[in-house]
Amino acid sequence: MCIRTRPTADFDETAIAIDTAKATVVVNTAAKKAADSHQAASSVNNTDTVYSFNYHHILHNASQETVYTTLSRDVVQSVVDGTNGTIMTYGQTGSGKTFTMIGDTRNFSHRGIAPRALSHIYSEVAERTEIDFKMTCVYYEIYNEKVYDLLDDLSNSEVSE
All structural domains of the chain with their residue ranges: 1-61, 63-132
Taking only the tens of pLDDT, the chain with its 161 residues reads: 889 987 677 777 788 888 989 999 999 888 655 555 555 555 555 678 899 999 999 998 899 999 999 999 999 999 999 898 899 998 888 888 999 999 998 999 999 999 999 999 999 999 999 999 888 888 888 888 899 888 887 655 554 44
pLDDT of residue 32: 57
- Pairing verdict, β 146-149 and 24-28: unpaired
The pTM (predicted TM-score) of the whole model is 0.75
pLDDT of residue 143: 84
Amino acid at residue number 120: H
Task: Decide: helix, strand or coil at residue 103.
Answer: strand
C-alpha dihedral sign at 38, 43, 44, 50: positive
pLDDT of residue 31: 67
CA atoms of 129 and 32, how far apart (whole Å): 59
* H or E stretch at 143: strand 140-143
Helices (H) and strands (E) in the chain, counts: 5, 7
Question: Comparing C-alpha atoms, which of 46, 125, 113, 141 is closest to residue 81?
Answer: 125
CA atoms of 113 and 83, how far apart (whole Å): 18
Upper half-sphere CA count for residue 14 (Cβ side, 13 Å): 8
pLDDT of residue 134: 86
pLDDT of residue 160: 47
